[in-house]
Amino acid sequence: MAPRNRRRHGGQAVKIVVTGPFSAGKTTLIRTISEITVLSTERGITDETRAQKAQTTVAMDFGRISIDRDLVLYLFGTPGQERFDFMWEVLGEGMLGYVLLVDANRPDSFREAVTINAAFRAMAPVPFVVAVNRTETLTDELDSALREALDIGVDVPVLACDATDKESVKSVLLALLYALLHEVEPATAHG
């Protein structure tokens, strides 16, 4: 009998969700790292938040990273405004883990981050990291404030991030992937 054809044609796709408060930089983060032009569903803002930015994501952002020939990582960005939270569950289906992005310059948005994080924790007990955008360094004070607000322990990575910088975004994704590895195989994970 001839050997069975074992080539893999279809490949595998995995998903990471990028979530966080309104105007935290989620769309920017995905655009920075995605190899394709991010399919973004943005719409002009008509309410009082227009002062913060002119457009906002109303359904999702969608980016792609081809890992190798058979493996693709998709990034899904959630709409930040709470009134679109019905999309969160749709986007969260089957995710490996998620990045909770917050804006270091907007401590008033941390409360919103708490709500979002609670919703995602309730949806899926998957690993996550907290990325603090628009800051080069994470002060102990800010780290503590975030951990206390989000009620997270030292096992959850909290790291500074610049959503416009590719290396910085890579660090965020790697932190999440190592957290996943640690969960799958605690003894061998390192990072």
Partner 1 sequence: MNLEGSLDAFGLSDVFSLLAMTTKSGALRLRRTASSGVNSAGVVWFSSGLITGATADLSRQSLTRRLVGSGIVDDGALRSAVGRVQSAGIDRDGVAKALLESGAVEPDLLQAAASDQILDAVFDLMRWADGDFAFEMDASNPDDVGVSIEVSGIIEESRAREAAWIDVSTIIPSPDSILSVPVVLSADPVVSRDEWALLALVDGRRCVRDLVDLTGAGQFAVVSTLASLVRRGLLVVRDVASADHVGVVERRLSLLGPLEDLEVVTARLDSPAEAPAELEPIPESNDGRSSLVGLGDDADDAADQVDRTARAEGGDDDDDDESDEDFDDGSGDDDDDSEDADGQLSRSMAARRSRPSRDDVVPDRSEPFLPPRRRAQSERPAARAEASAVARASGLVAVPTAGGPPSVGSAAVALEESADPSAIERDPSINRSLLLRLIAGVRGL
- Applying CB under 8 A, the span of 3-11, 19-27, 101-109, 131-139 interacting with partner 1 comes to 3-11
In a 3-state reduction of DSSP, which class is residue 63?
strand
Phi-psi region of 93 (alpha: psi -120 to 50; beta: other; left: phi over 0): beta
Task: Select the residue interacting with partner 1 from 29, 30, 95, 100 (CB under 8 A).
Answer: 95
Say whether residue 55 binds partner 1 (CB under 8 A). no
- Asked if residue 77 binds partner 1 (CB under 8 A), the reply is no
Q: Does 114 bind partner 1 (CB under 8 A)?
A: no
What's the closest the beta carbon of residue 86 comes to partner 1, in angstroms?
5
CB of 96 to partner 1, least distance (A): 6
Query: Considering only CA atoms, which of 38, 56, 163, 59 is closest in space to residue 103?
Result: 163
Nearer to partner 1, 7 or 141 (CB): 7
Q: Can you point out the beta strands (E) in the chain?
A: 12-19, 39-44, 55-68, 71-77, 97-103, 128-133, 158-161
In 10 A of CB 64, how many CB atoms?
17
Nearer to partner 1, 62 or 164 (CB): 62
In the set 60, 99, 160, 161, which binds partner 1 (CB under 8 A)?
60
- Which of 108, 153, 155, 188 forms a contact with partner 1 (CB under 8 A)? 188
- Residues 91 and 16: their CA atoms lie apart, in Å, by 9
Does 15 help bind partner 1 (rule: CB under 8 A)? yes
User: Whole-number minimum distance, CB 89 to partner 1, in Å?
Assistant: 6
Q: Which residues pair with 65 in a beta bridge?
A: 73
